[in-house]
Every structure is written in structure tokens, then in C-alpha cells.
Structure 1
């Protein structure tokens, strides 16, 4: 099969079949066309098959190519997002080191959420708390799907996230109380909100 030609077919089922064939044969000659197709493929299912196909190749061959796409400022955002998605599946050693803080807050939603998935999958234990701080800063940003993706990422950092969320909730409640009662002062409202957040269901006792 001429993979490059098949990837140009108008019928997405033909492109899907080409990606399946490339992953099944794992011929080294197919790897570059697979990488190139990531940035152009409009069909979600074909893109997913492209990722599956790439994971079928040795990490020693795919990892450098994925990092090259990720770090290429000329690459399309879709290509870079798909590279991140594929890295989340491979979870190769060294992945954490290529992630940057700006990636976690990238203006492109697909890129940003893909960075979250990779980050929580490969974060070293010593970096979990710092990653939790960065992800909590994304609360409230984006539409429902984006917020759902963030919640899933935060859930992977369970113990590190819980105290941060309690602080955010307390601050939000204190701000709401201050809006309703400016004369009460923000400090007093914040103290009470923190007490309630810390005590949880026992706060009313």
C-alpha cells in the first residue's frame, strides 16, 4: 500500500485503513508519513488510529520525532496537540522534562488539555504538588468540556489537590460574603470561610 497516497484520499475510511495498515505492519518507511498526517487529518477517528499506529513503533524511534513536532514553532497546533496526545499513550522516559509550564496554560484548548493529560500521566512524585498548583490555576477557564478535562486531570493528583481546592473554595465563599456584606470586611469573611472549609460537615456544630 502507498500510505502517503492513501492518506490523501477524500474518503476517511480509506485514510483510517491506511493508518491501521501502517500500525499493523510497523514498517519504518511509514513512520514519517504517520507523523506528517497528524497535523492535517480532520477526522477524529482517523487521528486516533494514527496515534495507535505510532504507538506500535519502537519508542526509541517515535519519541524523538514526537518531540520534534512538539517543539516546532512552525508546526500546526493540531499536530502539536496530537503529538502530546500520543506522548500520553507512550509515556516514554524523558517526557516530563520536555513539558513546560506555558504548555499547561496554552491558549489553544486542544493543546492545553492534551498537556494536562500528559503531565498527570508522567509527573514525578516530587513534582506533583507543583503541578497541582498550576492546574488549579486553570479552574473556571474554558467551556464545560474543558472544565471536565481539567477535573479529570486534577483527580489524578488527589492528595495534592484537595488542600488547594479547599483554599480556593474558602476564598470564593469569602469573596461572595464580602460582596453581600462589605461592612464585614474581607478578613473576617475569609477567616470564617477557611474555618468552614477545614471543618467540613462539622462546621455547624
Structure 2
């Protein structure tokens, strides 16, 4: 008697090995895409991160919308990082427009994670979407992500204009937010210096101290931010800057 061909059964949640393409879906069976979508919404963070890893390992345009959707609501940092990685594995021609669309979301996490992912993709077509509204967003996480994305995406000729917007945020937030802003300003290179030096003479002491600390970090990148701030306080109190010393 001839036995019928029989494929080994694959468990519903089993993902293909990194070098293995998904087997064709048989009629009546749940599709691989549907299983991946379900896994990305699993209650278990370990399942979600493995699903994102599998989707990024074997990129497929069908997954991009779901990955972007999950970025907006995923509660775990390490899972969000894997979602971002998975998106970077897909074509920017597909991912960038969808991520740019998220920048208009009312959900802060959607905006911040989209900005973070755009900074990792590094495709300049996203630059026009990095608006002043995002760079000055009331949510610190969104603003910080916008600063990081902006310095990656900005064309050389537009660096002075970006610096002018960034210095309006000097003195904002706590130490982490201020350090993020200092790093973004410094990343613009020499083109930011005239704008930064103008801020060093600001009437607001918080702005002035932050600007001076940023200049200190520019000249001494190994200096800690806290020590740069303390030095900035001393300099501001004495009314001197590096230009005067």
C-alpha cells in the first residue's frame, strides 16, 4: 500500500529558523502572518520579543504596519527595541512613510518610538517631517527622540537652523533631558557654535548654565555632565566664559 506524503506538523506558535523560509500555508490553516501578528500581541514579553526577532530575521512587507502599530503601545523597553530593529530590516521605502505618519499621533509613545526608529533607519527622506513642534514637544521623551533623529537626518546646510531651534530648549527638564539636548547640539559640530555662544549670555540663569555646560562638553567630551554643570554655575556666577579665559 502506498502511504500518503506527510509533512511534519509545525506547532502554531513555532517560528522558522533564521535561515529557513516559512513553509507555504495549507488551505484551512492559520497563516504564518496571522501567527506572527498574534505572537506580537502575546501577554508574554518573551513571546513578543521572539516574534519581533523572527519578523526582522525574515523581512516581509506584510509585517511593517503591525510592527509600527505595536511600537505605539508596547510597554517593555527591550521589546520596543526589537520592534525597531525589525523595522530597520525592511525597506525604507515602506517603513519611513508609515513611521512619518505616526509623528502626527496623539499618543506620545507612538511619536517618540517612530522618531527613535527613524533615527536608526537614517533615511534623509524623513527630515522634512522633523518639525519644530516635535523638537519642542511638551513630552520630554518625544522631544529627546526628536533631537536625536534631527541630528542624524539634518542636511548640512540646515544645521544652523536646527541649532537655533535646539537652543530654545536649553534649561529644560532634568539632568537626562539636558544631557540629551547638549549631545544633540554638540553633534551639529562647529555650525552650532555662534548660536550656542549667544545662549551663554541669556538672561535666564538656567539657560545660561546649560549653554555654558554644553560648551564645556564640546571642548572636553570626557567631562561628566554633572561636573560640567557645576563648572557652568561657577562660570556664570563669575560672569566669565571660555571666550574670556
Quickly name the TM-score band, shorter chain normalised. 0.7 to 0.9
What are the superposed Cα offsets for residues 120-143 of structure 1, whole Å, 9 maximum, x if unpaired?
Answer: 111111111111111111111011
Instruction: Name 1:132's counterpart in structure 2.
Output: 163
Q: 1:123 aligns with which of 137, 154, 168?
A: 154
Q: Residue 85 in 1 paired to residue 129 in 2? A: no
Alignment equivalent of 2:91, drawn from 31, 34, 58: 58
Deviations 1:183-203 (A, max 9, x none): xxxxxxxxx95xx547432xx
TM-score (norm 2): 0.68
Tell me the residue number matched to 1:167.
198
User: 2:76 aligned with 1:43, yes or no?
Assistant: yes
Q: Does residue 234 of structure 2 align to residue 200 of structure 1?
A: no
Query: Offset of 1:165 from its aligned partner?
Result: 2.7
Structure 2 distance, partners of 1:199, 1:36, is: 49
Which residue is 1:146 aligned to? 177
Alignment match, 1:4: 37
**Aligned residue-pair number:** 181
Q: Secondary structure at the match of 1:114?
A: helix
Larger Rg, first or second structure (1 or 2): 2
If the length of structure 1 is used for normalisation, what is the TM-score? Answer: 0.81
- 5+ residue gaps in structure 2? 1-14, 16-34, 206-237
How far the C-alpha of 1:152 sits from its partner, in A, is: 0.9
Provide the C-alpha distance between the structure 2 equivalents of 1:93 and 1:158, rounded to a whole number of angstroms: 18
